[in-house]
Amino acid sequence: QSVLTQPPSVSGAPGEKVTISCAGSSSNIGAGYDVHWYQQAPGTAPKLLIYGDMNRPSGVPDRFSGSKSGTSASLAISGLQAEDEADYYCQSYDSSLSAHVLFGGGTKLTVL
Amino acid sequence: QVQLQESGPGLVKPSQTLSLTCTVSGGSISTNSYYWSWIRQHPGKGLEWIGNIYYVGTTYYNPSLKSRLTISLDTSKNQFSLKLASVTAADTAIYYCARSQRILSSLSVVPGSLNSWGQGTLVTVSS
């Protein structure tokens, strides 16, 4: 079980907005450590989607947005498109663990 | 733009050592701005961090793999490598190398986002 908890799946119709949560604790997200998000389409390597809680790398559409509050973070995807169907992972750091990098368990987004 | 490419055997026998190399192009690994990372993904599963190495050779390992793991770098070849000993079928996975930004977060220098990834290489452990 991952230290960062994500829902296994979410779904939405084209054009809708979905939100994926990433629940942590006081030693990771709640301690203020940055949260990053990745998109992984089938058969491909993960792609950085959001870094530093809410920043988009160049080329990532503004339909993707990140936020953080307390011990949780969220990824919102608005104006859903068919090509958004993928797995999404959050990532952060934990000060209480020896692990240098933490990933959430991943969320499968299905576009209906 | 930096590019990373994994290389190594796609098939390893049980109890042997899995060895992979990541070749970095378009940028030097001898920089204090990044950690160099290995991540794996078991078939149909999520991402698992394996370990990081910093350009001076400092390593950070996943505690669950630490006893079998060695990550090293060769600055002359702009490469870093992974060795995982005593493998079993449970080590069958896609192995990715990646570059992790070093960032100041919550008053500490920690790994940030993994902003460049290799394409991944499937390693199967089987006799």
Query: What does the pLDDT read at residue B7?
Result: 98
Query: What does the pLDDT read at residue A9?
Result: 97
Is the pLDDT reported for residue A97 higher than 80? no
Mean pLDDT, chain A, whole residue set: 95
Is the pLDDT reported for residue A70 higher than 80? yes
Query: What does the pLDDT read at residue B107?
Result: 84
User: Residue B108 — very low, low, confident or very high, per pLDDT cuts 50/70/90?
Assistant: confident
Query: What does the pLDDT read at residue A95?
Result: 85
User: Residue B105 — very low, low, confident or very high, per pLDDT cuts 50/70/90?
Assistant: confident
How far is C-alpha A78 from the geometric centre of its chain's CA atoms?
14
Per the CB < 8 A criterion, the answer to whether B99 and B112 are in contact is no
Cα–Cα distance for residue pair A69/A97, rounded to 1 Å: 21
Q: Is A66 on the interface with B (CB under 8 A)?
A: no
Cα–Cα distance for residue pair A2/A24, rounded to 1 Å: 9
Mean pLDDT, chain B, whole residue set: 95
What are the chain B neighbours of A51 within 8 Å (beta carbons)? 101, 112-113, 115
Comparing A25-34, B15-24, B103-112, which segment has the lowest mean pLDDT? B103-112
Residue matched to tokens 């949560």: A21
Q: How much is the average pLDDT of B9-22?
A: 98
Q: How much is the average pLDDT of B111-122?
A: 95
Instruction: Give the count of beta carbons closer than 10 Å to the beta carbon of residue B11.
Output: 11
Is the pLDDT reported for residue B40 higher than 90? yes
The answer to whether the CB atoms of B49 and A100 lie below 8 A apart is yes
Comparing A33-47, A86-100, B16-30, which segment has the lowest mean pLDDT? A86-100
Cα–Cα distance for residue pair B92/B89, rounded to 1 Å: 5
Q: Is A36 on the interface with B (CB under 8 A)?
A: yes
Query: What does the pLDDT read at residue A100?
Result: 80
Is the pLDDT reported for residue A59 higher than 90? yes
pLDDT top residue among A76 and A97: A76
Q: How much is the average pLDDT of A58-62?
A: 96
Is the pLDDT reported for residue B103 higher than 90? no
Angle at B99 between CA B95 and CA B100, to 5 degrees: 115
Query: What does the pLDDT read at residue A55?
Result: 97
How far A93 CA sits from the closest chain B CA (Å)? 7
Q: Is B100 on the interface with A (CB under 8 A)?
A: yes
Q: List, in order, residues 6 or more apart from A58 with CB less than 8 Å away.
A: none
Per the CB < 8 A criterion, the answer to whether B120 and B84 are in contact is no
DSSP assignment string, B26-68? SS-S--TTEEEEEEEE-TTS-EEEEEEEETTS-EEE-TTTGGG
What are the chain B neighbours of A95 within 8 Å (beta carbons)? 106, 108
Per the CB < 8 A criterion, the answer to whether A98 and A12 are in contact is no
Tell me the two tokens of residue B18. Answer: 């899995």
DSSP assignment string, chain A? --SBB--SEEEE-TT--EEEEEE--TTTGGGT---EEEEE-TTS--EEEEBTTTBPPTT--TTEEEEEETTEEEEEE-S--GGG-EEEEEEE--TTSS-S-EEB--EEEEE-
Instruction: Give the count of beta carbons closer than 10 Å to the beta carbon of residue B19.
Output: 16
Comparing A5-19, B76-90, B94-108, which segment has the lowest mean pLDDT? B94-108
Rounded CA Rg of chain B: 14
Query: What does the pLDDT read at residue A24?
Result: 96
User: Residue B113 — very low, low, confident or very high, per pLDDT cuts 50/70/90?
Assistant: very high
What are the chain B neighbours of A89 within 8 Å (beta carbons)? 46-47
At residue B94, the 3 state secondary structure works out as strand
| Chain A interface, best mutation among B53, B65, B110, by max A CB count within 10 A | B110
